[in-house]
Chains A and B, each alone.
Chain A
């Protein structure tokens, strides 16, 4: 026993013991399901998984000939391009104004953070009601103001912008708070030195704040990219992919093929694998870019 304790008592070894719980959980809930998804994608499997026939790459071939899947990739790309830049840069600008720890800033931080802690279902239902084409509050106000009857959630071409806005509204608070924390960590002496050198607030922002919080910027960019590519909840609640599939994201479509209609788990897994490859490629690209900058 003593020998055992002695063996593991070295810092280089006991580190593995501390890591073990996380690694085990990661293997159980991430690595194994990932491997299973890869495996499933090669089979034709019903939802009950009581029968499986090997189909090779047929599910992948079907996916690339499936108009709805290709459309969902396009919708996801548009959503990501709308949501991510606004989230990453918008939250940064807001955060820059909320850095000081005074009462007003704390209040605004709390307000911006509020949607983050609300459930997506509640947020989705709320927006669905206030943007309803006939009985929605915002629609009615805009109509009274002479903007006409705007059908926010049922107009192809417009609804994807609305959904992106709702998603942005819901999640940008967390990005803003992370930025605020990062900005607050920048050494005050840097700003003092710059001020002594005659640099104004804007110059300080671009030459001190921006470079100092670059790792945070990359972190938010990467996580938001991955999140946007997996958008599901807000779309599922507000439009369920409509109108005419113009907001049907890839994950929404995967869900519908896995759990409703024909319930093809193998096909849904194949589409998940394709999405995984896309997310992986984007993540690796960004990671390399970040390291180069470092």
Chain B
């Protein structure tokens, strides 16, 4: 009987180990070797200054590791650019890049084990989750030839906490409106005049919808939390505002959010918007009149040969907005001073012009359709003549860039991953009224804000 009990226990152990396979658990309560007192970090940073100077890098060959999650076609381009750097640079630097679809768990496991890459490429919001493992790289402008004034300040602000800079911008991810010009023409609408307000959006959606052809005028997905968030904030402003230890969630009683949810619910009920998780595929199939999405939407539309236009998301009651997410290069605390200096060299190369006046940053922006984060790239002909980039860069530069929450609120992920999906799902599938959904979202958001 004892043997049987042991065999059952071991079988069960195998089962649960699948659930706990994140590893590193035994290090749970152990502080990582890189975690230091701020004062000690400052003192070390001061001592490290000469070593981190870009002039000292070339002394001997050095390898740095670079992790990111660019698994798509853009990952191939990133690989090519990194290979080019490895071949071209005369500083003896080799960048070993590791692209992983499971980047997040790879990173957290490595940090938990007290290791990690030299450099990562991620959303600037990672500073809230992995801030203890990121180095302040505000000296990158002193130790390289990068010109801080060339970087658009609002994007740098996104990457900073007080005076500390945790990321150098790499990619600006905004959301835009895409409309199918052929469907506009078929519906008797002017294909060059997309909606500029949400009332127009709803009106056009009705005209564009053609049930006999499986065409929907509006393509808002209940499953795209980022899309919903970008739209929602046009209606009712930021979901969380305030300051540290005094954050305020703004769901309940937010007439803008209620207006959006009512509009969405009505469009779904009228059949002008599909009850579908994957609306991007439908847009690529030419079955969506208007949608909102990131620059990657253009890849599907281009491949499918859809005749489309790009514009800014229509304005709502909350006024002009330029909500974006900033992705950037960051140096982790696992990097030695020499490795940090090598990483700076790579970042400098990425943003530096060659003899032909081009730079990896410009190439990346033009090839992948992401707006530039430096004035110098925006001024390049290759950038200015690109219709997509011009449309994406047409946002009011003075409009606030915060995305759904105040950019210094650390709980962004929880709001986007938990609160917004629950709210939109309950409205889309009729399990709650708009008011109930907002009240529930308020309660969930209050719980999150209380943690910060």
Contacts and interface: CB of A to CB of B under 8 A. Distances in A.
Contacts of A154: 275-277
Contacts of A36: 20, 25-26, 28
A74 interface: no
B211 to A, nearest CB: 9
Q: Which of B19, B112, B130 is the most central at the interface, judged by chain A CB atoms within 10 Å of its CB? A: B19
Contact of A33 (B11, B21, B35, B429): B21
B283 to A, nearest CB: 10
A245 B425 contact: yes
Interface in A120-136: 128-129, 132-135
B76 interface: no
Nearest to B113: A49
A135 B24 contact: no
A32 B15 contact: no
A115 to B, nearest CB: 21
Contact of A32 (B26, B108, B414, B426): B26
A37 B16 CA distance: 9
Contacts of A153: 277
A230 B19 contact: yes
B10 A272 contact: no
Contacts of B19: 37, 230, 251, 254, 272, 275-276
> Chain A CB within 10 Å — which of B14, B15, B105, B448 has the most?
B15
Given A135-B285, A151-B276, A276-B16, A283 B418 contact: no
A244 B428 contact: yes
Interface in A202-261: 226, 230, 239-240, 242-245, 251, 254, 256, 258-261
A163 interface: no
Contact of B15 (A260, A262, A276): A276
B101 to A, nearest CB: 9
Interface in A259-294: 259-263, 265, 269, 272-273, 275-276, 279-280, 283-284, 287, 291
Contact of A287 (B4, B16, B23, B32): B4
Contact of A244 (B30, B32, B281, B425): B425
A81 interface: no
A279 B425 CA distance: 30
A242 B276 CA distance: 10
Sorting the interface of chain B by its residue count into under 10, 10 to 19, 20 to 34 or 35 or more gives 35 or more
B21 A226 contact: no
A135 B223 contact: no
Given A134-B282, A262-B411, A272-B19, A284 B8 contact: yes
A280 B108 CA distance: 29
Contact of A31 (B13, B130, B223): B13
Contacts of A273: 16
A129 B411 CA distance: 34
Given A50-B132, A135-B282, A242-B277, A279 B12 contact: yes
B287 interface: yes
Nearest to B282: A134
B278 interface: yes
Interface in B415-434: 417-418, 422, 425-426, 428-429, 431
B214 interface: yes
Contact of A39 (B8, B28, B129, B429): B28
B274 interface: yes
Given A33-B20, A265-B22, A279-B12, A50 B32 contact: yes
Interface residues of A, number: 60
Contacts of A162: none
B418 A26 contact: no
B399 interface: no
B31 interface: yes
B12 A50 contact: no
A287 B10 CA distance: 14
A262 B448 contact: yes
Contacts of B129: 46-48, 263
Contacts of B105: 259
B112 A244 contact: no
Contacts of B223: 240, 242
Contact of B25 (A33, A134, A239, A243): A33
Instruction: Pick the most buried of B23, B105, B133: most chain A CB atoms within 10 A of its CB.
Output: B105
B8 A243 contact: no
Nearest to A230: B18
Interface string A145-172: 0000101011010000000000000000
A243 B429 contact: yes
A30 interface: yes
A112 interface: no
B236 to A, nearest CB: 22
Contact of B287 (A47, A134, A244): A134
A273 B287 CA distance: 46
A91 interface: no
Given A50-B111, A128-B278, A132-B278, A33 B12 contact: no
B153 interface: no
B270 interface: no
Contacts of A251: 19
Given A29-B17, A36-B28, A276 B12 contact: yes
Given A240-B223, A243-B277, A256-B417, A49 B27 contact: yes
A75 interface: no
Contact of A260 (B14, B112, B413): B413
Nearest to B447: A262
Contacts of A86: none
B243 interface: no
Contacts of A26: 10, 13-14
23 contacts: A26-B10, A30-B13, A30-B17, A39-B25, A40-B25, A46-B129, A49-B30, A50-B35, A135-B282, A135-B287, A153-B277, A154-B276, A226-B15, A242-B222, A243-B222, A243-B429, A244-B429, A258-B22, A260-B413, A276-B12, A276-B15, A279-B16, A284-B8
Given A245-B425, A283-B8, 5 more contacts: A40-B25, A133-B275, A243-B275, A265-B25, A291-B4
